[in-house]
Structure 1
Amino acid sequence: MTQVDAAQAGQGGAGREDTGAGTSGARIRRVVRAVSRPGPWRRGPVLAASAVLLGLVLLLHARITDRGGLGSLVETFLPWFGLFVPVLLTGALWRRSASAVVALLLPVVVWLNLFGGLLGDGSHPGGDLTVAEHNVGDTNPDPAGTARDMAASGADVLALVELTEQARGTYERELAEAYPYHAVRGTVGLWSKLPLSDTRPVDVKMDYGPLGDTKPADIKMTYNRALRTTVATDQGPLAVYVAHLGSVRVLPRKGFWTESRDRGAKALAEAVAAERNKRVVLLGDLNGTVDDRALAGITSRLRSAQSEAGDGFGFTWPARFPVARIDQILVRGVRPDSSWVLPATGSDHLPVAARISW
């Protein structure tokens, strides 16, 4: 063998040795990556933590502080928190995170426990009386058309709130033929096909403005926002309350401002608690959902017709794209057989109706 051949052979041998070393190194790197790569139970810790947090918010919403109205705001839109579930599930599947998928069971179970009953149709045939409620809107451009729509709903008892002095006469004229009996106190009224008696205002402690800067004594007589009356039925007297609680607002320094609404809810709850008639129906825009802690004094004494006999969530506000049910039909001593949302009128709220039986 010549020196050149020997040199070439040496170089080839060295090359083969390097290739072997490289292959071994690649194998080692693959093993290290496989060992260090997190398994399905360790992937997506942020997604898993977010799922647990979502479940805890749904489960413990009543314990969220109400400073700045935070608790009330969360409870107003509580059903919508379920939309985070498919978002988190998509992320969990993309990351192939078993821990995140399992963690999502918590919010799913809690959400279904809270709202699963609203996914089906809870109505059944029957009913002795149809009641309806509508916030007709103080800027409604067509009060006459709204009145005709509500008369066509077939309601035996019809509550209207946010009546203005300018539009009141229009509603009285348009509804006179269908409803021979009616009572109006301030900005709320009740029209009925059955006789009414013992009608009186209910003081819901309005402060007449989001900042409380208007003196109640100046306008109290013309700005009442709740009434109580008795409807005479074939089955005996039915106590009916009509209410429009104070608005909620987002204010720069106060956050989600609910003071007027909360004060009115407490006063209305006291009035209902003192009611001696065993059969009670409350119709009104309560500016809050039945999940809102501010209405607990009312919802602990009255049942929601929509929750018991409705089909779906029955959102009523805003009319163009409803995201919350703040217009309520609540009952005691009667059974709701069905509950539904009526078609839109000229108002920014949707009207609601329910059939009740004794």
Structure 2
Amino acid sequence: MVVRAQADRGATSTVRAPLRWARRWAPGADARGDAGGRSAWTRGRVLAALAALTAGLLVFHRAVPNSVGRLGSLLETFLPWLGLAGVVLLGLALLRRSATALVALLLPAAAWTYLFGGLLLPGADSGATSGAHDLVVVQHNVSDENTDPAGTARSLADAGPDLIALEELLPPALTVYETTLAPDYPHHTVLGTVGLWSKHPLTGTRLLDIKPQGITETWSRGLRTVVRTPHGEIVAYVAHLPSVRVGAGGLASSWRDESARLLGQAVAAEELKAVILMGDLNSTVDDRGLAPLTSRMNVAERGFAFSFPAAFPLARIDQVMARSGTVGHIHTLPATGSDHLPIAARITLD
């Protein structure tokens, strides 16, 4: 009898522990609440408000104005990282034992999943083997300070793409890229500081004028060429948009935005149906500064592929886009001697 009584007391104690915890979170329970008399449903309202604000910024980021410091573009450059705010708020909500805050956190979680959840889904590997209407492309800003151009070229060729687009090509490194890539890529074109290497013949290469009016010095960062693939001709653009700077006044991106508009106009005027754009666009696809392009072309459906800075990638500013084609899984390649990571993507043509 004594043993049974002790067992009953132990069982009762085990049951009461979760019941006490549940009562703390139940509506109308724990009337005394914390030291301030607040229950799990009345405390944490500030955290709940911050959760709602985070969700609002995710969903309505276009509503953040660009008139002052281009704050909208600055937010959109790092938009996926806004999910970390939700993680921090979750920790604080658990610490405060706030049921209200926890419920409110469903809002930013749903918003982030809606915007970026699809990028986490598995996609077809962007490997060397292409399907009947597929092209594998590599995009890389090789950096004009790269001390190992030969190693960089070999690393890119090892990925086995059909096309390799490079930016910041300067002599004498250019000669090294041409020599190293020649065996696998017999067709190439270089204009200014951008170039394209191809397994397929190139024709009709010309300069792409995307130079902002405010730049007075020599500046050639865009080319347009036609790739004669086994399944038809495709227009290929290689572009390097102006850099942006973040300072006390916000984001300085007016030249980049102007260059993006010129590039968008070129795409709109293109008569051939299939167009592929590869380049260092110094912007993410969420940034409204690239709207002249993202409104006309398809972007990657799978993968984040943060490419800059190479030491600790925070954003993908190197882009692959397509018109009359789908950009499937996009991913980064191993680091080279550049401050950017190379990216590779498979494009399925319509």
Q: Same fold (TM over 0.5)?
A: yes
| 1:133 pairs with one of 125, 128, 139 | 139
Report the counterpart of residue 243 of structure 1 in structure 2. 239
1:170 aligns with 2:171: no
Q: What is the deviation of 1:123?
A: 2.2
Q: Would you say the 8 A contact 1:123–1:339 is kept in 2?
A: no
Q: Would you say the 8 A contact 2:298–2:326 is kept in 1?
A: no
User: Quick one: distance in 2 between partners of 1:172 and 1:258?
Assistant: 33
Tell me the secondary structure at the aligned position of residue 69 of structure 2: helix
Provide Cα deviations, 1:175-194, integer angstroms capped at 9, x if missing partner. 12221111111010001111
Q: Where does the alignment leave 5 or more consecutive residues of structure 2 unmatched?
A: 1-30
Larger-gyration structure (1/2): 1
Report the counterpart of residue 28 of structure 2 in structure 1. none
Q: What is the deviation of 1:357?
A: 3.1
| 2:266 pairs with one of 268, 271, 286 | 271
Q: What one-letter code is carried by the residue in structure 1 that aligns with 2:234?
A: L
Q: Would you say the 8 A contact 2:257–2:290 is kept in 1?
A: yes
Report the counterpart of residue 212 of structure 2 in structure 1. 206
Report the counterpart of residue 335 of structure 2 in structure 1. 344
Q: Quickly say closer, same or farther: Cα 1:331–1:68, change in 2 above 3 A.
A: same
Q: Quickly say closer, same or farther: Cα 1:36–1:247, change in 2 above 3 A.
A: closer
Tell me the secondary structure at the aligned position of residue 65 of structure 1: coil
Q: Quickly say closer, same or farther: Cα 1:86–1:144, change in 2 above 3 A.
A: same
Q: Quickly say closer, same or farther: Cα 1:35–1:343, change in 2 above 3 A.
A: closer
1:286 aligns with 2:243: no
Q: TM-score, normalised by structure 2?
A: 0.85
Q: What is the deviation of 1:100?
A: 0.9
Q: What is the deviation of 1:229?
A: 0.4
Tell me the secondary structure at the aligned position of residue 165 of structure 1: coil
User: Quick one: distance in 1 between partners of 2:299 and 2:32?
Assistant: 61
Q: Would you say the 8 A contact 2:33–2:39 is kept in 1?
A: no
Q: Quickly say closer, same or farther: Cα 1:248–1:85, change in 2 above 3 A.
A: same
Seq. identity, %: 53
C-alpha root-mean-square deviation of aligned residues, in Å?
Answer: 2.1
User: Quick one: distance in 1 between partners of 2:97 and 2:34?
Assistant: 16
| 2:319 pairs with one of 323, 328, 336 | 328
Tell me the secondary structure at the aligned position of residue 172 of structure 2: helix
Provide Cα deviations, 1:130-157, integer angstroms capped at 9, x if missing partner. 2111100111111121112112221111
Greater shift after overlay, 286-295 or 331-340? 331-340
Give the 5 Å matches for 1:108-187.
108-123=109-124, 127=131, 128-187=134-193
Q: Flag the structure with higher helix content.
A: 1
Tell me the secondary structure at the aligned position of residue 278 of structure 1: coil
Tell me the secondary structure at the aligned position of residue 155 of structure 1: coil
Tell me the secondary structure at the aligned position of residue 68 of structure 1: coil
Q: TM-score, normalised by structure 1?
A: 0.83
Q: Quickly say closer, same or farther: Cα 1:337–1:45, change in 2 above 3 A.
A: closer
Runs of 4+ in 1 over 4 A off after TM superposition: 31-36
Aligned residues: 314
